[in-house]
């Protein structure tokens, strides 16, 4: 259930927004989109932003207006939300395993026959099963072989396996074999430029080898897609990847901001914040009304946007700040902004994104695909 | 938005439930409720379970049938959900700060005049502001002075402060001053019995002192409420607390299971699980389709219910298992149960609870108050 309670309305001042609320700074967000548009255009690489980061139709529309060729989703339920809102090119960058899920995906492709819907496979039997369900449902899918390029999570490990899986794909008449999905997930948060670059160069070499093996087996491989906010420049530079999939660049978070960058790399700014109210105050302690149900801490604590106070502890509904210096005083009822540690699971906690420009609410957008775990 | 996609229907077998899904083992859940009912009755203490742990009307109804006198909520939005579903006695165990929130609470009390609605205060100015809003709204609230008993998060620190705040409360004609809220939150997860007992004994002494000071100031103090799953026995034994507020006992999690207990303490069993599907398999690695958007990791990783495999890594939508011994083999498509590290923020990620008995789905309950951050 989406809460009917909305934290704000257009025209409200930021300090009147109910808390805890997810705040999107529109100026920064638009700058991030424009910088990514320029970067992708400069490298002549297709930009397919990952919607799992924001799960928001309005944000994805703005990404499409800023040069995207389509979007990525991670779950069938996410794809369903975006397809139902007229997105015409959606790639599920994940394996879909299980009878219910496969049937749901096949039904989705049947409901939206004009859309391009892609999905990843890393197992020949699973590909055949999905192909049989699509045949029974009379629906078509674009299919990518998922290649493990160091994430050690999913994907085929070798060119021989890729050929075996791709053969199973082309044997399904309702499938169009598209190419290789090669996402170097574990490389995204390596802090140094040389480490990230080296990880992607290795991933690109492996993807090129697999493409050669596929071609040698007469399995055409049109697309190689991958890359996230931490590495997309290196995928784009590689001349191997034809498509990049960054997500977090639009919003940013504490974790991604820790990465080091070349001076020439596009700068993405924190555009996503948690607004919280001081709900208790005693001496040098101030307690905010936002906790683990308003932001995730899997990649570290949220960062205050103000000086002189640090996050001391976080619990389900509270964040305790302690004074550590000569920052501004904080009083009961004050509203403060925090930068979340990790944007994706933080956005997933909220029903609404409050879009703000220069301290004024411009719009309140639903997080349309929040909670689509299936 | 609640996803319209339901992971299961009554009569389904557990292995046919779509994943990742929140599974409630009904036999264990009912045992937990019965053990708490007996414990509270034995101590002759009022039982007011905390609904923030499960946010589910059906679970709260069963708690009411198992001896509860009412429920606790943490947010105005949660209280709204339960009041709208005919719960007649709801205590918000938290301060409500901010104009929008205060107006919403006053409106809620106006909409449900037959219900008892309680709230905590720790500041005299805030109490007066809420009292003025209630007067304008023509609505009544039960008000508790929140006492800090070692949590260092909210609450008045001293008896003198408590008297000052309680005076502000009794000066508001629409408020009924009820007593003291004294939750020893930081004591809940101290592992040893002596540490938890000592923390609660100190809390009880402080609450008794404050009650004496309130009485001396002619401020009657009917209720002292507090205690969670980790400590409720000690609050109940203290003869100071008249009411206990445990939440997690109904579901349990890895974190609470780490506490040590006296042999005489009621045993609560893991009743809450995440069901996940093996969506990729390579050698001694199996990847599940549940990650940070299906369970929280703030209090540690989820625990497999099967042997021979360990959780190696967790990302937004995936959990990677590595084989560590001679456990059962795992194959693509298998469904596995994990015990979440921390139940409250895990339940908050889901729209549905799949209630299962002996491997069969008995019901699918909405998580009615999911996402009520306001």
Same domain, residue pair B60 and B91: yes
Q: How many beta-carbon contacts under 8 Å exist across A and B?
A: 202
* pLDDT attached to residue A234: 97
Beta strands in B107-231 (DSSP E): 116-121, 141-146, 175-181, 223-226
Please tell me whether residues A289 and A312 are part of one structural domain: yes
Please give the angle made by the CA atoms of A43, A48 and A52, to the nearest 5 degrees: 135
With beta carbons under 8 A apart, name residues in chain B contacting A230.
Answer: none
**Do A97 and B370 make contact, defined as CB atoms within 8 angstroms?**
no
Over range A182-191, report the average pLDDT. Answer: 94
Q: Measured between CB atoms, which of A80, A95, A279 is closest to B97?
A: A279
Co-location of A64 and A160 in the same domain: yes
Are B222 and B351 found together in one domain?
Answer: no
Q: How far apart are CA B23 and CA B11, in angstroms?
A: 14
Residue of A184 and B3 predicted with greater confidence: A184
Q: Provide the domain count of chain B.
A: 2
Helix, strand or coil for residue A37? helix
Q: What is the predicted pLDDT for the residue at A326?
A: 83
Q: What is the pLDDT of residue A149?
A: 97
Amino acid B327: pLDDT: 79
User: What residues in A contact B371, CB-CB < 8 Å?
Assistant: 1-3, 349-351, 370-371
Query: Does one domain contain both A184 and A289?
Result: no
8 A C-beta contact, residue B143 and residue B178: yes
* Dihedral over alpha carbons A51, A98, B340, B75 (to 10 degrees): 50
Res. A1: pLDDT tops 70: no
Give a yes or no: residue B263 inside a domain. no
Look at residue A353 and tell me if it is in a domain. yes
* CATH code of residue A291: 2.40.37.20
Specify if A355 maps to a domain: yes
Residue after which a domain boundary falls, among A203, A224, A251: A251
- Is B1 a domain residue? no
**Interchain contact, A98 vs B52, CB within 8 Å:** no
Min Cα separation B42/chain A (Å): 30
The chain A residue lying nearest B348, using CA atoms, is A293
The pLDDT, as a whole number, for residue A166 is: 98
Q: Which pLDDT score, from 0 to 100, does residue B264 have?
A: 87
A256 assigned to some structural domain:
no
Residue B347 maps to a domain? yes
Answer whether residue A2 shows pLDDT above 60.
no
Q: Which domain, by its residues, includes A176?
A: 27-251
Q: Tell which wins on pLDDT, B53 or A262.
A: B53
At A3, the pLDDT band (50, 70, 90 cuts) reads low
Averages of pLDDT over runs of 10 residues in chain B (374 residues) are 80 98 98 98 97 98 98 98 98 97 97 98 98 98 98 97 98 98 95 96 98 97 97 96 98 95 93 98 97 97 96 97 90 98 98 98 97 94
DSSP H or E stretch at residue B152: none
Question: What dihedral angle (degrees, nearest 10) is formed by the CA atoms of A326, A327, A329, A335?
Answer: -170
Q: Same structural domain for residues A329 and A247?
A: no
Q: Quote ipTM for the complex.
A: 0.97
B145, B215: one domain: yes
Tens of pLDDT, residues A310-358: 999 999 999 999 999 887 899 999 999 999 999 999 999 999 999 999 9
Residues A119 and A191 placed together within one structural domain of the fold = yes
Domain of residue A128, CATH code: 3.20.20.10
For the cut 90, the answer to whether the pLDDT of residue A235 exceeds it is yes
Residues B195 and B313 in one domain: no
**Is B314 in the same domain as B177?**
no
The last residue of a domain, from among A251, A286, A307: A251
Q: Which of A19, A280, A345 sits opposite B95 (nearest CB)?
A: A280
The pTM score is 0.97
Per-residue model confidence as pLDDT tens digits over A39-57: 999 999 999 999 999 999 9
How many degrees, rounded to 5, is the angle at CA A278 between CA A276 and CA A279? 110
Pairwise CB contact (< 8 Å): A281 & B123: yes
> Which pLDDT band holds residue A264 (cuts at 50, 70, 90)?
confident
- Residues B287-307 have pLDDT tens digits of 999 999 999 999 999 999 999
Residues B293 and B193 in one domain: no
Same domain, A207 and A80: yes
Give the domain-ending residue among B235, B257, B279.
B257
Report strand pairing: B309-314 vs B319-323: antiparallel
Cα separation of B316 and B131, whole Å?
44
């Amino acid at each position: 259930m989406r809460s009917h309670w909305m934290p704000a309305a257009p025209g409200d001042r930021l300090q009147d927004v109910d808390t805890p609320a997810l705040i999107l700074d529109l100026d920064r967000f638009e700058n991030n989109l424009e910088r990514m548009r320029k970067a992708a255009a400069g490298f002549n690489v297709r930009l397919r932003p990952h919607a799992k980061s924001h799960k928001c139709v309005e944000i994805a529309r703005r990404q499409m207006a800023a040069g995207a060729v389509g979007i990525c989703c991670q779950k069938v339920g996410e794809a369903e939300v975006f397809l139902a809102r007229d997105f015409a090119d959606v790639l599920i960058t994940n394996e879909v395993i299980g009878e219910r899920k496969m049937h749901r995906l096949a039904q989705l492709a049947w409901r939206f026959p004009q859309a391009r819907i892609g999905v990843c496979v890393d197992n020949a039997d699973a590909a055949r099963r999905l192909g049989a369900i699509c045949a029974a449902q009379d629906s078509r899918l674009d299919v990518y072989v998922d290649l493990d390029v160091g994430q050690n999570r999913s994907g085929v490990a070798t060119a021989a396996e890729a050929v075996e899986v791709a053969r199973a794909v082309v044997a399904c008449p309702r499938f169009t074999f598209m190419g290789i999905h090669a996402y170097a997930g574990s490389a995204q948060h390596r802090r140094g430029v040389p480490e990230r670059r080296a990880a992607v160069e290795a991933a690109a070499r492996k993807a090129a080898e697999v493409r050669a093996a596929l071609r040698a087996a007469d399995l055409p491989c049109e697309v190689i897609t991958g890359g996230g906010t931490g590495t997309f420049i290196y995928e784009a530079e590689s001349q191997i990847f034809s498509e990049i999939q960054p997500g977090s660049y639009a919003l940013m978070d504490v974790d991604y901001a820790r990465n080091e960058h070349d001076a020439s790399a596009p700068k993405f700014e924190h555009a996503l914040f948690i607004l919280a109210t001081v709900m208790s105050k005693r001496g040098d302690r101030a307690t905010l009304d936002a906790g683990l149900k308003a932001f995730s801490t899997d990649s570290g604590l949220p960062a205050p946007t103000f000086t002189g106070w640090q996050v001391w502890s976080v619990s389900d509904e509270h964040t305790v700040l302690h004074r550590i210096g000569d920052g501004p005083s904080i009083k009961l009822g004050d509203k403060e902004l925090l930068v979340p540690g990790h944007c994706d699971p933080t956005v997933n906690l909220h029903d609404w994104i409050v879009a703000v420009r220069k301290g004024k609410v411009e719009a309140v957008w639903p997080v349309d695909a929040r909670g689509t775990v299936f």
